Chain A
Amino acid sequence: MCVKNLVKHYGHKKILDNVNLTLDEGEFYALMGPNGSGKTTLVSIVASVIPADEGSVRIYGQDHGKSLVSYVPQEHFSSPLLTGRETLCYFAQLQGFSRQNARSLTEPILETVGLSDEANNRVATYSGGMRKRLEVGTCLFPGTKLVILDEPTTGLDPVARREFYRMISTVSEEGKTILLITHIGEDAELAHTVGFIHEGTIIAQGSPYQLKKQSNLHQVVTVEPTVPSEHVASILSSFSVSEQILETESGFRLYCNDAKTTIPKVMRALESQRIHLSTCTVEVPSLEDVFFTLTRRQVSV
């Protein structure tokens, strides 16, 4: 897939600004960025759902690769009144397969997505994870080369997310190219290549390892004060690399080169202000940390 100089406006607002992106056959690419960064707009253009204002998208050399691309939007698009088998059969026929072929194609796909036992139950009885796996199943018909997944794990619990990505790994190993849209660093870690999109532009890309290495982030100290305090952020920022700290729901993440020497200094500084900590841990940097240090913008909390 080759995206060249893609530009898209909504009214006067520029959503995509000269985006260039290339995916090789069989590659698993995760595009990561916060809400409103242009991720969904980009994949909507690639999937031929909306037109671009400028630029081109070529898939296997074709301008309109509808028969080669399969898109799973964010929402649950499957009908709750149909069964899992009927849903796959319906989409296979929409894809152009005959009724007879559609029926025979659904069986191996149901197995791949792990829904063979639930195939005759209505989608209304499925959990969020099962429903999403079924919807990914609509992308696995023969002929599909590129699978686009738009924030597929939103709303899934950790177990369902793990099951989901186990299935995606199988699909990737089968040779399908995957373009995953996400704002969750942990999900993006599974990809071969990760691209960061910010304000309609791809600002960095590479393997998760390369991105972390290039960011020069060595260690992350997570600090959770017992009582929220306005002073904590300003105290912590003086100990963090480039004075950057990421505020999370329960505390803060500060970036340092040597946690062993930084932590005692942080503790002393906080205790002098009578601020006590409930937790203080050392972690390796995540892709969210890398994105934050590149843009000073929080990807997810």
Chain B
Amino acid sequence: MSQVYATVEKMVKEFFRDKVNLFFTLILPLFFVLVMPILWGDVPQTVIPVLKGGLTLTMISFLIMIGGQSNLAGSIAADRGRGLYTKIASMPLSPVKEGTGRILGIFIYICVGAVILLAAGLISGGKISVHSMHLFMSIGCYFLIALSSTGIGLIIASLVKGESAATHAGIALTLLTAFMGGLFLPYHMLPRIFQFFARVHPITSANAAIVYLLEGECVSYYNPLQPAQMGITIVLSVILFTSGMILYSKHC
């Protein structure tokens, strides 16, 4: 257990001490949550709290994506580059414990970031439904986003060599997914092909489900809680995470 704990502690300390990490994972989404509403000049005042709530929830998803896809991938690539895995391979340490520690580390980092973003969103006037069942389901959806993002992060770390390349690949993929999947644009404004992408991609689909559950269809613009769509989201999240773990154990 001390081996898992040691890895978690190392990861969390590294994430919070790395200024570039902090900027992309925490400061950037926080900036969007606080500054974006200023640009909504024509929007009626009665709708703004709901929109701010939706934006906060989406930025939490964005934070999880960056954390899993970019920070985790960059951290693994950096450790591999500096020969940590060579050192670890010579030690009496199970790869499962090391991998578990890494994933728990990124989950804790993401959770702390999510709480800060949520607090900032609520303080700035965002409104979120407090129906306990909806909250519970939303946490489940965030878990699916975390599962998919860490899976993609592990795949990137396994295939892309070099810290900088892995980090940038993660950021590029996050931004691409966010734009194509409707995280930065309302769903009804997306081209048909992107609407299809938004429904199929497990991260954007789970994000739409969270927004639908906590803000309503007026913000999500469609009902993503269809059994087929949620089924695909769950299956793809598990597949991405499992593939990531398999590749990580083989290549790292």
Q: How far is the CB of A125 from chain B (nearest CB, A)?
A: 13
Q: Is the CB of A93 within 8 A of B90?
A: no
Q: Is the CB of A99 within 8 A of B2?
A: yes
Q: How large is the interface on B (under 10, 10 to 19, 20 to 34, 35 or more residues)?
A: 20 to 34
Q: How far is the CB of A56 from chain B (nearest CB, A)?
A: 17
A68 nearest in chain B by CB position: B92
Main secondary structure of the interface of B (DSSP, over half): helix
Instruction: Find residues 18-47 in chain B having any chain A CB closer than 8 Å to their own CB.
Output: 18
Q: Is the CB of A77 within 8 A of B13?
A: no
The answer for the CA separation of A34 and B124 in the assembled complex, in Å, is 65
Q: Which of A78-86, A110-118, A272-280 contacts B (4 or more CB under 8 A)?
A: A78-86
Chain A residues with CB below 8 A from B89, complex form? 47-49
**A281 at the A/B interface (Cβ < 8 Å)?**
no
Q: Is the CB of B90 within 8 A of A82?
A: no
A86 nearest in chain B by CB position: B13
The answer for the CA separation of A73 and B14 in the assembled complex, in Å, is 22
Q: Which of B78-86, B186-194, B243-251 contacts A (4 or more CB under 8 A)?
A: B78-86
Chain A residues with CB below 8 A from B5, complex form? 93, 99
Instruction: Find residues 56-89 in chain B having any chain A CB closer than 8 Å to their own CB.
Output: 79, 82-84, 86-89
Q: Is the CB of A82 within 8 A of B3?
A: no
Chain B residues with CB below 8 A from A75, complex form? 82-83, 86
Q: Is the CB of A76 within 8 A of B6?
A: no
The 8 A CB mask of A56-94 against B (1 = contact, 0 = none) is: 000000000011011111111111011000100111011
Q: How far is the CB of B115 from chain A (nearest CB, A)?
A: 23
**A239 at the A/B interface (Cβ < 8 Å)?**
no
**B17 at the A/B interface (Cβ < 8 Å)?**
yes
Chain A residues with CB below 8 A from B228, complex form? none
Known: A47-B90, A75-B82. A82 touches B2 (CB 8 A): no
A70 nearest in chain B by CB position: B90
Q: Is the CB of A96 within 8 A of B87?
A: no
Q: Is the CB of A93 within 8 A of B82?
A: no
The answer for the CA separation of A97 and B13 in the assembled complex, in Å, is 20
Q: Is the CB of B92 within 8 A of A95?
A: yes
The 8 A CB mask of A13-49 against B (1 = contact, 0 = none) is: 0000000000000000000000000000000100111
**A98 at the A/B interface (Cβ < 8 Å)?**
yes
Chain B residues with CB below 8 A from A102, complex form? 2, 6
The answer for the CA separation of A96 and B5 in the assembled complex, in Å, is 11
The answer for the CA separation of A122 and B18 in the assembled complex, in Å, is 12
**B93 at the A/B interface (Cβ < 8 Å)?**
yes
**A138 at the A/B interface (Cβ < 8 Å)?**
yes
The answer for the CA separation of A98 and B5 in the assembled complex, in Å, is 10
Known: A47-B90, A73-B87, A77-B87. A96 touches B82 (CB 8 A): no
Q: Is the CB of A73 within 8 A of B2?
A: no
Chain A residues with CB below 8 A from B7, complex form? 94
The answer for the CA separation of A70 and B92 in the assembled complex, in Å, is 10
B81 nearest in chain A by CB position: A75
Q: Is the CB of A71 within 8 A of B90?
A: yes
**B91 at the A/B interface (Cβ < 8 Å)?**
yes
Chain B residues with CB below 8 A from A89, complex form? 6
The answer for the CA separation of A47 and B14 in the assembled complex, in Å, is 27
The answer for the CA separation of A99 and B8 in the assembled complex, in Å, is 13
Centre residue among B5, B6, B17 by max chain A CB count within 10 A: B6
The answer for the CA separation of A69 and B89 in the assembled complex, in Å, is 11
Instruction: Find residues 184-241 in chain B having any chain A CB closer than 8 Å to their own CB.
Output: none
Known: A94-B6, A96-B2. A77 touches B82 (CB 8 A): yes
The 8 A CB mask of A107-137 against B (1 = contact, 0 = none) is: 0000000000000001000000000000000
Residues on B close to A: CB < 8 A? Answer: 2-3, 5-7, 9-10, 13-14, 17-18, 79, 82-84, 86-93
Q: Which 7 A-B pairs have the closest CB atoms?
A: A75-B83, A93-B6, A71-B90, A47-B90, A77-B83, A66-B92, A73-B83
13 more A-B residue pairs beyond the given contacts A49-B89, A138-B87, with a C-beta to C-beta distance below 8 A: A66-B90, A71-B87, A75-B83, A76-B83, A77-B82, A77-B83, A79-B82, A81-B14, A81-B18, A86-B10, A90-B10, A94-B93, A122-B17
